[in-house]
Amino acid sequence: MNGTPPAVDKDWWRGAVIYEIYPRSFQDTTGDGVGDLAGITRRLAYLADLGVDAIWIAPFFQSPMKDYGYDVSNYTAVDPLFGTIADFDDLVAEARRLKIKVMIDQVLSHTSDQSPWFKESRQSRDNPKHDWYVWADPKPDGTPPNNWLSIFGGPAWEWDTRRCQYYFHNFLVEQPDLNFHNKAVQDALLDTVRFWLERGVDGLRLDTVNFYFHSQGLESNPPADNHDAPEAPAVNPYNFQEHIHDKSQPQNLQFLARLRSLLDEYPAETTVGEIGDGPRSLKTMAAYTSGGDKLHMCYTFDFLGPQFSAKHFRERTEAFEAIVGDGWPCWAFSNHDIVRHVTRWKDATTLGHDQLAALAAAILLSLRGSVCMYQGEELGLTEANLSFEDLRDPYGIRFWPEFKGRDGCRTPMVWESNAPNGGFSDRKPWLPVSPAHVPLAVNREAGDPASTLAVYKRLLAFRRAHPALRKGTIRFVDAPADVLAFVREGEGETVLCAFNISADAARFALPAGMKVTPLSGHGFTGRPEGGTIALSGGDVFYGSVA
C-alpha cells in the first residue's frame, strides 16, 4: 500500500444533495427545549443512512436571537445556546467519519445591533468604524433619506440619537446593514470566513447574497409594476417597489470574486448563495455563478412559491438553462423561511399527501443541478398550524394573521412517536411539536417501505447509481399538459424521466424513434406500453434510452 493520499474531488458539490438543518429544532441534548450542535452530531448516522452528501447548518453563532441567529453579534463564537466550539469540532469530525460534508450559513449582509462593530460605529461620526455601516443624514424635514423599505415591514431606516443620523436595515431594526463599499468591512468579514474554513468546513451557504451592496447615491426605488414578488408575502408593502437601488448592485461581483479567491486557497470548498431578486433573480444568478470565479451555485425562489405544474417546472428550468449558461443551479422546494411544499402545493393538485410528497421528491432529485433538502421533508412533514400565542418569528408577528411567518416550518423534528415531544426534547420545546407530525416520526416511517422516508432513501440511492442524474445535461421533451418529461444525459448514460403531475392516469407518447428500457430501484410504477409511457396518478417513469 503506498502513502499517496486520495485525490480531492473539487467538484463534489455538482449534483450533491445538501440537507438543511435548522439547529434550534433538530435535536435537543441538554433539556432546555432548544436543539444544539451535539444533537446534530447524534443524528448524523441517520443522515448518512438517508444518503445525503452534505449538511448545511443554519446559524449557530453568538446572537441575541432577535431573528433567531440571523442577527450575528460574533461571527467566530458559538452561541452557548447551541454548545461550544469543541462541540462544533466534534460534529465536523463525526461528519468526516461518515463521509458527510459540512456547510455553514454565513450572514454577511448585516450584523446584530449588539455586535461590537456596530456598538463602536454608532458612538460618533469619526470613530474608527464610523463608516462600517450604512449611515445617512435625514432630509431637511427630518424624514429618512429615501423610500427604501424593510422586508420585515416599515421603513428600512432607523434613527440613532447618538449620531443624529439614520442607519439602514433591510430586515429588523436590530439588524443594521454593513457598508460593503468599505474595504475594511470586506476584509473583516473574510477573516471570519477563514476562521471557519480553518476549522474544516466544506462550504458556505450565503444568506441574502445579493443584499451586500447598496447604491451610494441612495436613490429612491421606483414603484413596481407587479406586486407578486415570491420573496415576500403579498401583504408586505416591500413588494410595491422595484428594488434596483437597495440591493443587487454591480459592485457585488468584485466582492464575490474576493470570496472565491479565499475559498480557492482550500482543497474543495463550495458556496451556495440565496438570491431574492424578483423577476431578475435568474439574471442575478447568472452573473453570480458564471465564469468559475465567483459563487459555485445559487438558488432562487422560483420553486419556493405556490406554482405546482409541469409548465412551471419546465419554463423556469429552461429559463435557467438559457440565461445562466455555464452556471450551476441548486434547487430547493422547502427551507426554513418558506411554507413546507406539501402544504404550499396541496391546493394546486388533487394528489393525496403521500403521492404529492413522493412526486415532489422525484422531481427535485431528477432536475439538473444540486439539491437542498430541508429537515423533515423526507418524512412528508406539513406546515404546522400555530396559534398567535406560540409565534416566535418577528416577521409573522408583524404581518399576522394574513401572513403567519416562518414558525410553521421551523417546529421541532420528530424522531420517536412514543416519546415526549416527538423525541426532540425532554422539556417543553421552544416551538410546539405539531400533533400532525407525530405519526410521521422517524421511528414510524423507518420500518414502512411505503413511507415518504423510504421513498426518499430509494430515490437518493437511485440518484447515486445514475451519474446522468447527478451531473448530466437536461433536455425537455414535449408531453401532455400534466406530464413533465425530460432527458438527462452524461457519463455514458441517457435517462428519460417522466412525471405525472395529475391524479388522473396519463399516457406520454415517446418521441419518434426513442426506445427506452425501464430502470428499477426507485419504487415507481410507470411503464412503457408500445410507443407510450403509461403513468398512473402521481406516477413516475425512469428509463434508459438506447
Q: Give domain limits for the chain.
A: 17-109+183-213+249-463, 469-545
- For 480-489, b/e burial (b = at least 16 CB within 10 A) is bebbbbbbbb
Region label for 515, one of left (φ > 0), alpha (ψ between -120 and 50) or beta (otherwise): beta
CA angle 512, 360, 311 (to 5 degrees): 50
CB distance 445 to 46 below 8 Å: no
Q: Is the pTM of this model over 0.85?
A: yes
- Please give the Cα distance from 436 to 383 (Å, whole number): 9
First CA to last CA across the chain, in angstroms? 41
CB distance 104 to 75 below 8 Å: no
Q: How far are the Cα atoms of 215, 247, 248, 307 from residue 211, in angstroms, in the given order? A: 11, 5, 6, 25
Amino acid at 4: T
β-partners of residue 486 are: 476, 497
pLDDT at 167: 99
pLDDT at 5: 66
Least Cα distance to 434 among 404, 406, 411, 403 occurs for 411
Phi and psi at residue 346, to the nearest 5°? -65, -30
Give 17-109+183-213+249-463's CATH code, choosing from 3.30.70.100, 3.20.20.80, 3.20.20.60, 3.40.720.10.
3.20.20.80
Tens-digit pLDDT string for the chain (546 aa): 456 667 889 999 999 999 999 999 999 999 999 999 999 999 999 999 999 999 999 999 999 999 999 999 999 999 999 999 999 999 999 999 999 999 999 999 999 999 999 999 999 999 999 999 999 999 999 999 999 999 999 999 999 999 999 999 999 999 999 999 999 999 999 999 999 999 999 999 999 999 999 999 999 999 998 777 677 888 999 999 999 999 999 999 999 999 999 999 999 999 999 999 988 999 999 999 999 999 999 998 999 999 999 999 999 999 999 998 889 999 999 999 999 999 999 999 999 999 999 999 999 999 999 999 999 999 999 999 999 999 999 999 999 999 999 999 999 999 999 999 999 999 999 999 999 999 999 999 998 999 999 999 999 999 999 999 999 999 999 999 999 999 999 999 999 999 999 999 999 999 999 999 999 999 999 999 989 999 999 999 999 998
Q: Name the CATH superfamily, with its identifier, for domain 469-545.
A: Golgi alpha-mannosidase II (2.60.40.1180)
Please state at what angle helix 452-465 crosses helix 353-364, rounded to 10 degrees. 20
Lookup result for grid cell 410504477 = 525
Q: What is the DSSP letter of 241?
A: B
Catalytic residues: 207, 265
Which cell numbers in the block locate residue 499? 412525471
Lookup result for grid cell 467566530 = 76
Lookup result for grid cell 469530525 = 93
Phi and psi at residue 30, to the nearest 5°? -110, -5
pLDDT at 226: 79
Q: What is the DSSP letter of 225?
A: S
CB distance 446 to 414 below 8 Å: no
- String of DSSP letters for 271-317: EEEE---GGGHHHHHHHHHGGGSS-SEEE-STTSSS--SHHHHHHHH
For 129, residues 6+ apart whose C-beta sits below 8 A from its C-beta are 117, 120, 121
Q: What is the DSSP letter of 388?
A: G
- Please give the Cα distance from 195 to 172 (Å, whole number): 27
- Please give the Cα distance from 339 to 406 (Å, whole number): 7
